[in-house]
Amino acid sequence: MKPAWALALAALIASPLHAQTLAQALAQAWAHAPQAGAFAARDAEAQAGSELASNLLAAPASVSISTLNDRLGSGEGLQEWEVELTLPLWLPGQRGARETQAQSAADEVAARRRALRLQLAGELRDAWWALAAARADAVLADQRLATAAALEADVQRRVKAGDLARVDANLAAGERLAARSAQLDAGRALRSAEQAWRQLTGNPPPATLAPEAPAAASAPDDDHPALAAMLAASRTAQASLQVAAATRRDAPELALRYFRDRPTYNDEPSHAVGVKLTLPFSSGPRLRQESAGLQAELAQADGELEQARRKLALDAETARLDLDAARRQIELARERRTLDADTLALAQKSFALGESGLPALLLARAAAYAADALLVREEIAADAAQSRLNQALGVLP
């Protein structure tokens, strides 16, 4: 059996809208999210880091060329040329550490993308249930105005027939005016909710959207997008620390040298080939400085991860309690609607027979309208609580 608010929404729709699921809406919202565009550049950055780590050399090779002659001196034809090709080499374990760091950075980009999509999904879920509540209020306001107008017409007819006093006509007209005012307020709230949806997705609101199915998970785990992003950040910090440990000094350099020498015009040039190996000394203070900074980043990442685990567990428990409470409220609201609907039927019959006055009927109508509105809101609140629970558990639409 469909909930009352779903039936109310179906009655509201007079023109076709583009129906879509929450997952499709998330894809549209992602396309409009300004933060999403940065991830293409982050992916390129991670890919470039992976390519650098897979190179055979620790840094790009370099070539130096030098020449020497005596044209400004004796002019005897002295000429020397030297060409040197320098190849920076990896330190032991450094290349593997760089590759691990590059892979960790790529994993972190992917994890942060999922975390941002989950954050956007939370905004969409809130916007949808706000829209659902506004639509339901608009439907109820239309129904209230229609019944108030019908009541006013009946009262006017009975006043003309002499069955009712003119004060009853004034009361009926006042009820119609109050219903019209409520309809205008509901319409304004509905337009605001629709604009909020358009702001997120760039598209008109969906015609219908079924409540979300319960998540299979019972508590947030490390696959939760927010936790996965923090875990990835921690692994990146750990990989950076390993790179710093492996980079105890600047990269050693292997140089291949070619030397050409001609002392005078009459001498044959001589050629020589050589090899040069440069081994920089390690710098203890610099290594300690880099390691201390990375240790601080790693400790902060681990601390934030544990804090996030606790917060998400509490959020999930709160959402689960809210869902249970909303379901209990639905049962109470249904009982109240049944009672108030019966009271309204009795009041209408009594008014039609002239056994009671119009004020008693208006009071019964107001109570029945409030009961209908309460049930609709509680049903929407239960569906919204289910969405919040899915959100806390890290379930993407």
Q: How confident is the model at residue 11 (pLDDT cuts 50, 70, 90)?
A: very low
Q: What is the pLDDT of residue 46?
A: 82
Mean pLDDT to the nearest integer, 106-110: 89
pLDDT computed for residue 17 by the predictor? 43
Give how far Cα 330 sits from Cα of 131, 300, 327, 368, Å: 20, 44, 5, 16
Q: Are 305 and 235 in contact (CB under 8 A)?
A: no
pLDDT at residue 388 tops 90: yes
Write out the E strands in 11-78: 62-69
**Mean pLDDT over residues 201-210, rounded?**
83
All structural domains of the chain? 21-392 (1.20.1600.10)
Task: Name the most confidently modeled range: 4-13, 291-300, 355-364.
Answer: 355-364
Average pLDDT over residues 68-74: 72
3-state secondary structure of 23: helix
Local structure of residue 282 (DSSP, 8 states)? P
- Tell which wins on pLDDT, 76 or 82: 82
Question: For residue range 296-323, what is the model confidence (pLDDT) as tens digits?
Answer: 888 888 888 888 889 999 999 999 999 9
Strand duo 62-69 + 270-278: pairing: unpaired
Residue-wise DSSP of 322-381? HHHHHHHHHHHHHHHHHHHHHHHHHHHHHHHTTSS-HHHHHHHHHHHHHHHHHHHHHHHH
Query: How many other CB atoms sit within 10 Å of the CB of residue 79?
Result: 18
**Burial category of 16 from C-beta neighbours within 10 Å (exposed 0-12, middle 13-18, buried 19 and up):** exposed
pTM of the model: 0.76
Structural tokens at position 346: 């009795």
Lookup: tokens for 271: 């050629």
Helix (H, G, I), strand (E, B) or coil at 229: helix
pLDDT of residue 22: 87
Percent with pLDDT over 90 in the chain: 36
User: What is the rounded distance in angstroms from the CA atom of residue 97 to the CA atom of residue 217?
Assistant: 36
- CB-CB contact of 248 with 282 (8 Å): yes
User: Average pLDDT of the chain?
Assistant: 85
User: How far apart are alpha carbons 162 and 100 in whole angstroms?
Assistant: 92
What does the pLDDT read at residue 286?
A: 67
Determine the pLDDT at residue 119. Answer: 92
Q: How far apart are CA 94 and CA 185, in angstroms?
A: 67
Q: Which residue has the higher pLDDT, 119 or 249?
A: 119
Q: In terms of Cα–Cα distance, which of 386, 377, 397, 392 is closest to 132? A: 377
Residues 119/107, Cβ–Cβ less than 8 Å: no
3-state SS class at 397: coil
* 263: amino acid identity, one letter: P
pLDDT at 29 over 90: no
Contact present, 91 and 247 (Cβ < 8 Å):
yes
Identity of the highest mean pLDDT range in 101-105, 134-138, 200-204, 211-215: 134-138
The pLDDT of residue 164 is 83
